[in-house]
Structures are given as structure tokens and as C-alpha cells.
Structure 1
Amino acid sequence: MTVKSADAGAATPGVTPPSSPNVPRRAGVLPGERALAPDLARGIMLLFIVLSNTAFHLTAARHGPSGWQPVDGGWADHVVQFGMITVLDMRIYPLFAFLFGYGMMQLFLRQRAAGTPEREAVRVLRRRSLCLVVIGLLHSTLLMAGDIVGFYGLLSLALGWLFLRRGDRALKWWIGIATAQFLLLAAEPVVSALLSGELGTLGDAGAEPGADAYGADEGNWFAAAGTRFTSGLYVTFAAAPLSLVGGAYFIFLLGFWAARKGVLEEPGRHLPLLRWTAVIGIAVGWLGALPAALAHVGAITVPDDAQSESGVLTLLRDATGNAAGLGYVAAVALFVHWWKGRAAREPRRGGGTRATAIPATTITATAITAVSAVGKRSLSCYLAHSLLFAPVLADWGLGLGGHLTSATMALFAVGVWLVTVAGAYALERAGRRGPVEAALRRVMYRR
């Protein structure tokens, strides 16, 4: 088997790591090993996540049948709501799942290529998963009930144990099985309702709004923490196992497979795959969410039940979100390929060319470096979002969320993300890791 490293364009053919327990275990990523595409994708993903997490902080807004996006506001607010539903809602979780699986396999392959015994490499990943579950539960209880770190921490425990060491052929079979499982359970009711023309057969517009599960409208922090704790337990210990039953883990396994092939490290070798994935994935994802977005802003008239969280339009939006998430990753990889080609053609200050380095003198290069710095410290920046969001916006804090609209809240979210970009860039210039990543490494590698 060919073991890929995280170095852009590097691979180590035919590596057979020694099995002796006396072989020193490497402690994580070494300088120069990180590939640009995964980090840049994670940095952009965090902007999408912080935008997606704005709706439930609008505590004074009137929520529609979906129970999530508000229905009030001016034309700018409706434009933002339309864009959120079409581009972001339930499109970022698949993006996160793919990158999570990709990074997990990268870590395993690095350990094996460096000579770490297989069992010890698995133990490293298991400790990481357990730490993420703990971090996720603390995050949801203290600040933000919609935490996804604990969700994927628990999911990675199961999927790592079941699939991390399987061969490529078995992995492909299970990707196919999980995809069929997902389409059967998630898409079949949607297709039936659409073909029958009875859009109101699914859903319940009278159900409790999903935004209530976040406790942002609670004036007492302890009461809000109780709500968040319950929601966090459900997301981590109920929703994660249900995703295994529903087959949604196929996108996680796609991350495993793509990491083995070095798709994001070497995008130039996978251009047809990336182009088709970007075009088809984004088109399917946006078109699948379009009916829900049009219904939300009143451009089309459908039963309220069809727009509810379990309604046919919402289910259609969610089912096609996986395609959009994959399309976003592919689009970033294609951009990185184009950017590196441009960088290779630019002269060095002292003559010659640079094949992989990014010209440090351009504004675009600085922006790419800063956003990828966020991706390198994605866990720290993700938690920092909630630290900047919750105390300022929630009713138990300053309560600013009760005075904002969809448009102004989106501007606030972008501002929060830019603060984390500045912080991550400063750490990058100083050669320091994110604080949460540094602590996690100490537990993972016990050094």
C-alpha cells in the first residue's frame, strides 16, 4: 500500500512501518508537512459555521414554520435568510464531516509512516476522540448547545474502530453501502411526497422551534445551561448513533478514502474528479435547498408542514446538503491547485521560481495564509466563536441578539470570524499552535 504524507505532493511508496514497540512514536505534524487545501478549507468552513450559528441568537425574531430562520425583517434580511438556507444550512456539517475524516486518516498514516506501531497509532486517535467528546460536552453546556465536536468525537470512536484499518476495497464497499442506506432512509420519503404532489404529508409546523433547544432566550445562565446540557447530550449520544443507522457516515468514510489517495495534498493528480465534484455537488446542493428558500421568503406557497423541520422541503434541503459540502471541498482544492500554479510562475526575489511557496508580498497571499492559519487552529477558533458570541448575544448575557436582525447578525458573525483570523495569523507569525490544539496534543501523545 502507498502511504501518503501530509506534505503537498509527497508520497512514500511501499512503506512498511516496523512493528517493534521500541520504535519512537512521532508527536504530530512536523514543520512543512501541512498541505494548504485542507487548512484553507477548514478556515473557510469556520466562517460558514459562524454564519450558520446566527439564527438561534435572534431571540426577538419571529421564526417561521421551519423553527430556525426568522421570517421577519426587511429586504436585506430576506436576502440573508435566502442565502443561508440555500448555501449554508445543513451544508456545513457534511463539509466538517469530510474534513474530520480526512484529518483523522492523515494522522493515522503519518504515524504509521513514521514507524509507530499500528495499535499505538489507533490508541492516539482513540485518546483524541475521547478528548473531543469531553470538549464538546463542556462547550455545549457552558456556551453553545449546537456543538458538533462531541458529535464527531463519538462518531470517530466507532468509525475509527470499524474502518480505519480496512483495505481500500472494503472501504469502497462500505461507502457504497452507507450511501445506499442514506438514500433509502432519507431520500425515499422525500421522493414519494414530491411524486405524489402531497407536500403536506410530512412534517409538523406546530412542533417546538429548533432554535429553542439552544437556550439563547433564557435570561438565567443556569437555566440556559440546563437546556444546553440536555441538547448537548442528545446531539452527542443520540444523534451520532442515529447517523450510523441512517447511513450519513458515508461522507466521513469518503474523507478516509480521499486522504489515502492524497486528493487534497495533490489536487493536480485528481482534477477531473475535483471538477465534477465541485460542479455537480454545488449544483445539487443549491437546487435541493432552493424550494425551501423560496417558500421561506414567500416566493412560492406550500403547506406550513412542508416547511417544518421534519417537512419534505427541509428533508430535501438536508439530503442534498452532503453534495454541497463535498462540492465546497472540491472547489477549495481546485483553487489551491490554480494558486500554486500561479505561484510557480512568479519569479523569486533572487531569481528562479517557487513551485509551492505563496508569494508573501501580495494581499491575496496574506489573506490565504491568514485563513489557512485559522484552519490549522480550527478547534481553538471554533470555541473562540462561542466565547465571543454567547455572552454578547444571549439573553443571559448582554442580550444583543434581541436587537439584531438577520442581516446585522450576519455582519456581526463575519466580524467575529475576522477576529479569530487576526488571532490565528498572529499565532502563525509567532510560530505557535492554538491553545486548545497544544493541550490536545499533550493528551494525545503524552508528551
Structure 2
Amino acid sequence: MTIATTEGPLKRGAVQPGERALAPDLARGTMLLGIVLSNTAFHLWAARRGPSGWQPVDGSWLDHAVQFTMIMALDLRIYPLFAFLFGYGMMQLYLRQTAAGTDGRDAARILRRRSLWLIVIGLTHAALLMSGDIIGFYGVLSLILGVVFLRRGERALTWGIGIGIALILLVSAGPVVAALLRGELGTFGDAGAEPGFKAYAPDEENWLTAAGIRLETGLFVTFAAAPLTLVGGGYVLFLLGFRAARHRVLEEPGRHRTLLRLTAVLGIATGWLGALPAALAHTGVLRVPEDMQSESGALTVLRDVTGNSAGLGYVAAVTLFAQWWTTRRPRRGATAVAAVTAVGKRSLSCYLAHSLLFAPVLAAWGLGLGAHLGSATMALFALAVWLVTVAGAYALERAGRRGPAEVLLRRLMYGSRRA
């Protein structure tokens, strides 16, 4: 969605008034492939876990290659991308409403209603299918950050981003540096903690018992992890999305080409280098104490912190591709680009469809296929699931129909008449 501009003629490759920008939807569609791949690890509920408690450590060389790639490029790198796009889309919606003549307070009220319904949808999704849901999580963040920053100026956003970065360094990097100075870096973490995938209950054979565990995890993620994210500065990507939307970075990439190139190169390089030690340790190439590899260990902290840079880098890379593709003649691969973009336009529906196709087939309470797959075959299964949603979204696009979840959310936001 875009808004009209009164700043004069737009440059070649920019989105014209009334058009919908390609980059945000293309990024969302690509992001969902990353999410469905990164979520494969907890579905391998019978696999042997290492100190990290997340990625399996068994399998063939191909499985290890997939695990290495997941840790380097996807784990805790796709969700920052989602956070940025979520904030970008939220500010876009606000700007579109106010540009159409809606009072700023009324537009903010619509977005608050949207956030509340996202929390409801997220908790329902967690209880029924997937407790690692992020819809409710970002519903809480958007509710709070919308109240504090949505109608504030650039100065407030700059201060919020600066404080958030300082909090990330203090909360995440501070303890690691302190342990390093004390010579205790190898004991930083807890390799004996319960594996993280247990909170998703994929190995529970009784659906009701699994639903109870999932709901408990969903409530924690939504109402505890989200506020803790605010305290720890994890909201920075959200506010960067706010700011980028105000400057129409994704709609007018030609005006921001230098920024996008620097962000793509430095962001992806920082993210991958930050995850490299964890990936090498997981595959046994780098020998370090098990505590360092645990979910709270130093290598995991380094991987997670640098994931924010990778997320921004991915957004910038997709935007540069979108700008290049829209300005070239002839445009090759138009059908593929249109299909992935259709997924981005229906990202909520496709995200929920992933769980609908994953959980009943893979979980122990369903067909239990997750016990018989490895990291490589699970990645192929995830790719197939994503391609199914691509086909479905493209069919809806050709029919001129929105996704079912988007239709429902619009009705909840605006009421049946306006929707």
C-alpha cells in the first residue's frame, strides 16, 4: 500500500501515486520462505540435539550443511526482517489514512484495534497449532510502540532508536564482555537447560496436552517476551520501519540507493560473520565449551545480536532487486515475481497456512512425520509447503481476491461495511 505524494514528479523506478510498491510485498513473500525454513528445527522432535537445544546434531553431511546454513543465514535473522516490515507497514497504513483525510487520532485508534485483534489471532494460532507464533508478539509491540511513537516526530524516533541500540548492547553484549574480562567466557550459558523445542510440544502425542503447553508458551511469548523485548531494546527494527516508511525508502529506492547498498552489504556481512562461530561450533569444526553453544551462551548471544543487521540487510537486498527488476526491459521471470509478491500481499494468511500444513503432518499428535525426517528432507518439505502457499496466493491474485485472514482482519479493524 502506498500514499500519494505532492513533492513533485517521482524518479524512474519510484512508485507512482495509486500504485502499490513491489519491494515490501516481495520482501514479505521471500521472508515467509525464510520463516518456514527456520521453523523446521523444532518439528524434528525425535532428533538428537546439541548444546544449543535447537538445531539437531545428527544426520548426513547434507543434513549438517543445511544446519550450518540455517544457523548462518536464517536463525534469528528472519524475525528482525519481519519486525522491520511490520513497522513499515503499520506506518504506511497510518500515513495512508491521514492522507485520505482521517484524523490522526482516529487513524491511530484503528491501528490499536488492529493490534488487539492480532493478539487474539496470535494466541488462537498458538493454542491450536504453533506456539512459536509471532503475530501476538508483534501485536503487543505494535500496540505499545504505536501509542508512544506513531504520531511523534523524527526527533522522538531518533531518540527511541538510539536508546534501543544502547539497551541491546548493554543487555546482550554487556554480560558477555564481563565474562570475557573475568576469563569465564567458556562457562557463560547453560548447556543443561531443557531444549527450546520442548516449549512447542511437537513430541506430545495427546493434542489437548500439546495445546495446553502451546497456549502456555504463547501467553509467555506474547505477554512476557514482548515487554522484555521493549526493555532490552529489541524494538529498534520496528522503529526503523516507522522511519523508513516516512521517507518512502521501499517505494522510492532510487532516491536511497546508496543507503540500501551499504545496508545490504554491511548488514548481511555482519549478520553472517556474527553467526559463523555458532555454525562452526555446531558442526564440530570449532571446538568450544558446550555452555558457550547453549541457548544463553556467548556464541548464541553473538548470533542473535548480529541477526538484526542481517534482517535489515535482507530488506535492503530485496528492495534493490525490486528496483532493478522494475526498471529493466524485458522483465524476465514476471510470473515468479508476481507469485511471490502475491504471497507478500497475503502474508498473514500464508503464515497461518504454514502451520496448518506443518503441524498435523509433522507433530506426534498428528501423523508424526517429523520423527522420520532429517534437516535436509525437512527443508525440502518446508520448501514444498511454501510453494503450495505461493500457488494459492497467486490463484487468489489472479481472481482479484484478498487472503481470508486479511479479509477477516480488515472486518475486525473497520467493521463489515467499510471493509
1:150 aligned to 115, 136, 147, which one?
136
- 1:396 Cα deviation after fit: 0.1
**Where does residue 416 of structure 1 map in the other structure?**
385
- 1:93 Cα deviation after fit: 1.0
Describe the shift of the 1:197–1:296 C-alpha distance in structure 2 as closer, same or farther (beyond 3 A): farther
Report percent identity of matched pairs.
75
What amino acid is the match of 2:5?
A: A
1:388 aligned to 338, 350, 357, which one?
357
- 1:198 Cα deviation after fit: 3.6
CA distance in 2, matches of 1:216, 1:380: 22
The question of 1:401 aligning with 2:370 is answered: yes
Q: Which ranges in structure 1 are unaligned for 5 or more consecutive residues?
A: 15-30, 347-358
Summarize deviations over 1:173-195 as a string: whole Å, max 9, x none.
21111111111111222334456
1:260 aligned to 246, 255, 262, which one?
246
CA distance in 2, matches of 1:120, 1:392: 44
- For 1:6-405, list aligned pairs within 5 A: 6=2, 11-13=5-7, 32-194=18-180, 198-343=184-329, 346=330, 359=331, 362=332, 364-405=333-374
- 1:162 Cα deviation after fit: 0.2
8 A Cα contact 1:193 1:312, kept in partner: no
The question of 1:441 aligning with 2:407 is answered: no
1:427 aligned to 396, 409, 412, which one?
396
Summarize deviations over 1:384-412 as a string: whole Å, max 9, x none.
00000000000000000000000000000
TM, length-normalised to structure 2: 0.95
8 A Cα contact 1:294 1:300, kept in partner: yes
- 1:32 Cα deviation after fit: 4.8
Summarize deviations over 1:277-328 as a string: whole Å, max 9, x none.
0000000000000000000000010000000000000010001000000000
For the aligned residue pairs, the C-alpha RMSD in angstroms reads: 1.5
Stretch of structure 1 that moved more, 334-343 or 270-279:
334-343
TM, length-normalised to structure 1: 0.89
CA distance in 1, matches of 2:355, 2:310: 25
Q: After the TM superposition, which segments of 4 or more aligned residues of structure 1 sit over 3 Å from their partners?
A: 191-198
What amino acid is the match of 2:81?
A: L
8 A Cα contact 1:60 1:402, kept in partner: yes
Q: Which ranges in structure 2 are unaligned for 5 or more consecutive residues?
A: 9-16
Stretch of structure 1 that moved more, 406-415 or 185-194:
185-194
CA distance in 1, matches of 2:269, 2:182: 24
SS across alignment from 1:11:
coil
**Where does residue 351 of structure 1 map in the other structure?**
none
Summarize deviations over 1:36-77 as a string: whole Å, max 9, x none.
000000000000000011001101100110000000000000
What amino acid is the match of 2:278?
A: A
- 1:337 Cα deviation after fit: 1.1
CA distance in 1, matches of 2:368, 2:217: 21
CA distance in 2, matches of 1:215, 1:247: 29
8 A Cα contact 2:187 2:289, kept in partner: no
